[in-house]
Structure 1
Amino acid sequence: MTVTDPVSVLQTLVRCPSVTPEEGGALSALEVMLAPLGFAVERMTGHTDGTPDVENLYARLGTTGPHLMFAGHTDVVPPGNEASWRHPPFAAEIADGLLFGRGTVDMKGGIACFIAALARLLEQGRTLPGSVSLLITGDEEGPGINGTEKLLEWATSRGERWDAALVGEPTNPDTLGDMIKVGRRGSLTGRLMVTGTQGHVAYPHLADNPLRAMTAMLDALMGEPLDHGTDLFPPSNLEVTSVDTGNTATNVIPESASATFNIRFNDLWSEETLKNELQARLNRAAMDEQLRPGRDPARFSLEWLGRVSPVFLTRNERLSGSLAAAVEAVTGRRPKLSTTGGTSDARFIKDYCPVVEFGLVGQTMHKVDEHVPVADLEKLTEIYSHFIERWFALADAR
């Protein structure tokens, strides 16, 4: 393996079957790569009662500021039916200019390119006027409890501070150079429970079908747009993901009905204002008599599930500007600054320093035959090299 070659580094990482929450040898492989480059490498295990322990890695090159962090994860989603793959998911085989394997795109490829970029700069005798660190977790594809969040707390308790961070997630929708993520929408999940009265479908006057009220309530949640978006955020979006009564009989009106929904919200909302808005909509809908004429207001409860992922936006021209300039220098494309997509570990990092995301094209992530063009690995390595130099030059100029 040659650490200046992103293909070689990526093949080594892909051949480690690090399916969440297993380390699979991936962090050990990184330690072998980074130590000879001069990194001080440390491992820590995130622990929370009732959840699997997760191994994480922190490596730092340099002892002074300014301090640039690269963040990523070596854990991957399961490959599914391996017989459906044209090339074995952990073999890292190359065919027709494509490197196949689970994690090639999401996101061992980004890690490989960043390491290769640093190795090349060091091989050329470049001296960085500050420090670079790698914060690598094994829990991004899992619950996200024992990974980046715990690793940040651990590193901070040891005196680590960062001036900026780059997350190497696959951000480009179609072509390398399309998009930089400068923020993420928030995520909020709720469960609505409506209680009625069970009865025979032939005697509806003796029962109260909770699905009638549920229909009005779901219409209240989804019918009127939450907002129309902002310059950098798309409109907030609420999707119902399940509706259930637990009823197996066709001639019985159920006693209760539940619905689960998720909202991806922009910076027009906070957790508090969004919850208040949804509660108000449901309160009004409970009074709706269109499907329940003459009935008392519907009986319902609303439960919030899991942790809320906050919305955030990074406004740091030194960070996003130097990255955009590096992308354009290599690809000839000026990337769009975007906040689309799901959540990422950047939601934890933004509490410690400004953070942006840029990596490979994400079209095959989590799919059978996940793959990356070998040519894109070389281009991303060049982009990261340009970015590192530009960011430190701007930081040094200050």
Structure 2
Amino acid sequence: MVHVHASSFGQQVTLDIKNGRLVDVLDEIQKQTGYEFLYNNSLINKQKRVTIKANHKNFKEVLQEFLSERNLTYELNLNTVLIMAKVGSPQVASSTAVFLQRRRITGVVSDTKGAPLESVTVSVKGTTIGTKTDAQGQFALEIEDQHKVLQFSLVGFQSFERNISASNQLKITLEPAVSDLEEAVVVAYGKQRKISVVGAISSVSPQQLKTPVAKISSALAGQMAGVVTVQGSGEPGSATSFWIRGVSSFAGGTGPLVLVDGIERPMDLVDPEDVESFSVLKDATATAVYGVRGANGIVIITTKRGKKSVKPSINALVERGILEPVVLPKLANAAQWLDYYNDINFEASGKAPLTQEEINKYVNKVDPDVYPNVDWMQEIFKKRTSNERLNVNVTGGGDFIKYYVSFLYEREWDLSASKNIEL
């Protein structure tokens, strides 16, 4: 049983241990002092249990007290305490054999550009043995022959494992980790890492914009918080109106400022396939550079670029979408309208202008030319329509030039019987 009254760091320890294992005592001293203990497990595990009480006592005296009666001693080297058997004791043969098997591994850890990496955790896989690199990226670690793998880890870099070979000098290179911490968003005055942005900025990935709709503005619905989109017309080619954090102007324009590669232009003239990044600036970030022009927010679109020293690459995309009306008004047929017409006139004059026999002629379609009963919603509008889009782009570059060329063909059919549009 181990009971500790208090913990302190440095040279003083406070312990109250009854019938505890020797390894537990060493672990507790390590917690209170920060010293790391190295020992042979087989040497420590076979020792009898420990009962000791110490109150703010020097940890060296505590060690000497319970180690000497077990024919054990210790050596202190910087912040490491090595526990071993006393010379001449029955345990010394096995202890010496163990320490002869230990060897020292040193090395340097750097990034892909050769810069040394500090505070890299270097550990022996499957054990608690480990250390960290210094400001020069150097480390030193004592291992045993049964240890096979070293692990290297650092925040922002991919973890790396290295098999322990006969060489005692290692040179390790860590690759940067691709993570959300490095994701960048475009702001009014350049680019920032997403984790360091303090303003109200939303970004949409190009994949989220690749929906089978004719316009980018139509693809924004439900993609970002604080952005309201309204499609007031189902006419082919019609754009979707949208506002950032509501309407902030009654006399002037209410739409945000749209910048494509730094130039003001209509958003819907940009093909979603050509978008590299899409950011929406909502607060003071929008007015920091553009002033009152950014009062309604700013949409910043960056299009794709060619890549240097890359062979030409041709990409083609063909899409077809099905469009259906969400809600169609339900209109009265001829008989329902005539019944309503009769009721209105009866309440006004006490006399109905049409008899039920005349109304039934519209219902029974006796003579459609004289008594028409036309469903105009069905005659004028189709149940569904479609759109299609073809995008072909070529990208590449040489040593001195980069290029990205895109072609878009778009066609959308209207819900009305005969109207469509081509772009």
Shorter chain as denominator, the TM-score bin is under 0.3
Larger proportion of helix: 1
The structure number with the bigger radius of gyration is 2
Larger proportion of strand: 2
- Structure 2-normalised TM-score? 0.21
Query: Bigger relative contact order, structure 1 or 2, given CA contacts below 8 A and separation 6+?
Result: 1
